[in-house]
Structure 1
Amino acid sequence: MTTKQHTVADRVKAAMRDAERPASWVATKAGMSPSTFRRKIQGSGEFTVSELAQVAHALNVAPSSLLPAEFRTNTHAKGAA
């Protein structure tokens, strides 16, 4: 498992804990099979952007909250178009 995969999986699991929702519930609400979802939160696969958006919606969190830090910060220079 890469660090970024680990980070995303950990963020999803933390959001699940905060929402007090089991993996099967999140998977169903996100339109994923429970086995695929479990595999991804265990780090054996990567979430697509679309899947992360659906998981975030199911857990009522911002999709960016599930991404690694480098994707959540504004790295654009001021005044850049």
Structure 2
Amino acid sequence: MLKIRFKRSGRKKQPFYRIVVMDVRTKRDGKVLEELGFYNPMTKTLHINRDRTIVRLDNGVQPTKVVQNLLRKSPLF
């Protein structure tokens, strides 16, 4: 099963997350099938590739709860 979830990057105490499509069995920082955008919680910056995200959601990919909340709050959706 595929999920849209965060992949953490950045330095210690300065998180930066990439919004990616991954298999649920892979580790948090494991192999990515597709990168859809990023989220910086320090500056509250959010960038999402709207077209690819809609295609993935239509194909049955489930977002995690945190990503789902971000998608609801974003003006694109």
Q: Which has the higher helix share?
A: 1
Higher relative contact order (CA 8 A, sep 6+): 1
Q: Which has the higher strand share?
A: 2
Same fold, TM-score > 0.5, yes or no:
no
**TM-score with structure 1 setting the length:** 0.29
**TM-score with structure 2 setting the length:** 0.30
Computing the radius of gyration from Cα coordinates, the structure with the larger value is 1
